[in-house]
Amino acid sequence: MNAYDTTDLAFGDGTRVLREQRPLGQGGQGSVWGVSDRDDLVVKIYDRSPDDAQLRRLAAMLRARPLEREHLLPDQPPLLVWPTSLVEAGGRPVGYGMPRLPSSHIPLTGLLQKQVRLRRFEGQAHWRFLLGVAANLAYMTAGLHAEGFVVGDLSSTNAVADQRGFITLLDCDSFAFRDALTGEDFGCDVFTDDYAGPERHAGEQPTAHSDDFALAVLVYQLLTGGNHPFDGAPKYGTEESTRKDNILAGTSFLLHPDRVVTPAQLLPPEVVPPQLLRLARQAFGPGLRNPERRPRSTAWLDALDEARARVLQCPAVPVHWYGGHLTACPWCRRQADRQSDPFTALGGRVPGQGSAAWSARATPSAQASASASAGASASAPAGASASAAAGAPGSSGAPGAGAAPGTSAAGASGGPAPSGGTGTTAPSGGPSASGPSGTGTPPHATGGPTPPGPASPTAPEPGAGTVGPEPEPGADGAAHAEEPVGVGATCAGLLILVGLLALLVWGIVTAVRAVF
């Protein structure tokens, strides 16, 4: 219950706030409410009257406009759920307003689960789509770092994606940054165990390097359908181990596969393109204890762009996409070997498919040319859009609850959840030195990648680039209808039957001629 009267609320400009009857979500600091006469806004109301430090942070956030120079498409969601105005009660600030997202957005935790991917994305959240989402996330992280902002609690619960792969970051009121007007540093005392490097667990304030660790984990998870690089249990020592335990001990199957017992369903690391696998091993090896040795978000973006330029489509199963470093479809191979396919509901052998071997050797492919030309990214003027359609169907926009800073993944779709997801509160280590102050462009190429075009009927104007793979071949990013993989076998059977009939007729004719 609030420690003060919030029945009569107004925005900073005096406009009255009419809250909906029930909150959309409840967090550790307050609750998030819909606004009755505004379907584009929600408000976060603190449970307790904000102290002076919170008020200074809110004032600084309202002055700041991170990523404001990014050119968004007309139907693209905001990149950040950033405070837009104060909410007051009796002339005293008690919260703030922020953009509302439709319930069609799902947290990245959903993309990391096979059943959620199949249900919410109708089978179109394939590997190429996940690769585009990873590129969008890297681009946004690089852009924030270039402007002096640190996410602080970057995790799968604090980012959501829509049906096209556009990314929006939540919980922005925990960002670490420096107020350009006063020079005051604002830190971040929350983090999520599974995405925090050892220095965060030790109580240090976040830096761009700590974001880079979280980004490395998320990219690896996205490209392996949810596998965490610190999954498994050490072969020697304790029988049970959490991901946090493994991070602190440096126990990762990517670096020491002989020391870790991994779950049977984990995908082999070789499905990840080599340049990205090298970055992951750098981040979790030398970079684990030495944050400055971790690959930066710009390095991840470059490697993801390279991988997008070489993505291949399986000729047998259209929703099977994979890296150009492989000689055959790894997902078909898993089906042939009676293993789980991360991207279809089918199990067992693919009709008409043998148990063709695949390897990580880089070989040319006839399909690489079309994918490469459509998926490559080039440099663009500063201000190019930070995220793009990642190749899923373009239908989104189901009405529903909003997502906002201070709400968790569940709060993004209207359900209650604690602020920061499964976050852990770290001891405050003082203000964060979060990088250079002021604004700038992401340090990528000449200002930002030029994406292949979004999954929408109208292409963006020149210079208004987006990140992420282009829509699937077809009508405006609409979902593919899967081609029957047994057509060839059926045709072959018919040809054999016709041949047998011809032989029978020829035999009858020959016998008749012999008699007469």
d(CA 73, CA 466): 9
DSSP class per residue in 326-345:
-SS-HHHHHHHTT---TT-S
d(CA 45, CA 30): 5
Contact 325, 273 (CB under 8 A): yes
Cα torsion angle, 396, 397, 399, 400, sign: positive
In the beta sheet, which residues pair with residue 87?
Answer: 11, 95
**pLDDT value of residue 224:** 97
DSSP class per residue in 71-113:
---TTPPPSB----EEEEETTEEEEEEEE---TT-EEHHHHTS
In the beta sheet, which residues pair with residue 34?
Answer: 42
d(CA 437, CA 433): 10
d(CA 29, CA 35): 19
**pLDDT value of residue 387:** 43
| Parts of the chain with a pLDDT under 50 | 1, 348-388, 391-488
Which residues, in sequence order, are CB contacts of 507 under 8 Å at separation 6+? none
pTM over 0.85: no
> Domains, the chain, ranges and CATH?
12-83+93-99 (3.30.200.20), 106-227+267-337 (1.10.510.10)
Tens digit of each residue's pLDDT (9 = 90 or more) over 123-155: 899 999 999 999 999 999 999 999 999 999 999
**pLDDT value of residue 345:** 87
Alpha-helical segments (H) within 253-395: 274-284, 286-289, 297-308, 330-336, 368-375
The SS3 assignment for 52 reads helix
Mind spelling out the 3-state secondary structure of 146-194?
A: HCCCECCCCCCCCEEECCCCCEEECCHHHCEEECCCCCCEECCCEEEHH
Token look-up 């126990």 returns: 251
The SS3 assignment for 24 reads strand
Surface-to-core class of residue 236, CB atoms within 10 Å of its CB (0-12 exposed, 13-18 middle, 19+ buried): exposed
**pLDDT value of residue 106:** 92
CA distances from 392 to 226, 373, 493 (A): 18, 19, 36
**pLDDT value of residue 123:** 85
In the beta sheet, which residues pair with residue 46?
Answer: 30
Nearest C-alpha neighbor of 209 from the set 108, 287, 120? 287
Nearest C-alpha neighbor of 195 from the set 172, 168, 222? 222
CA distances from 357 to 330, 332, 360 (A): 9, 10, 11
